[in-house]
Structure 1
């Protein structure tokens, strides 16, 4: 897919996002809190990681989730057939408060057909530079490295009713 055709197919992508996002966070007990999105989804946060995840873990997962949605959608628009997609993410935090993420490394494991490094690099670049809201909400001095591993694999056959 040519660069111009890809850009044309992305017109309108993420333009229907509501600029105001609402959620609630309620104290449950001890240092456990329950976050609820406006759509009703819940996530539990726990400082001791017994009943829920740490907020910093949720931030890493949010970054990976945002990039994954973008990259898979972009690759599909480029006619790739994705069979499997997984991101391994490693965050390096500042040693003293505030313990922000100084660096993040993501390794994308992508399997499917019609995958090629140029398309994958373009999809990653588009997400990183323009479309990933989570990445673009983080510190500008955070070092983000993205690598990928491609595997040629047939997508699973869809079963029709």
Structure 2
């Protein structure tokens, strides 16, 4: 008999992975095909730092070792209502998530190895096109801010 999965912690990261030329990596969610996004994920424990969460999620979702690039804390947070179809993953009464934003600049040609349980495809797009392709407004807004953070 398997034990029940612990509830997700409503503290997460958004990591905009990009090249110096402002090409942005987007990944397509396996559970909702056609839903393109940057790397996202929740803390595994309350004491895991946002930076540790970002490094772990980038590795788990893309196979990219964040130490090959420059991980930058953008000191931005998004607070949003959790989509109703994901509420069962959180403790009863939890309906909002706080998301901390990072950028990760990687060399052009950085290989990507997706976790097929989470994502089915990836693409590198110029940042404006990437913002237009994202399903999430907060993800698109973060991508559009990219030039400010690498200037």
Relative to the length of structure 1, the TM-score reads: 0.27
- Larger RCO (CA under 8 A, 6+ residues apart): 2
Relative to the length of structure 2, the TM-score reads: 0.28
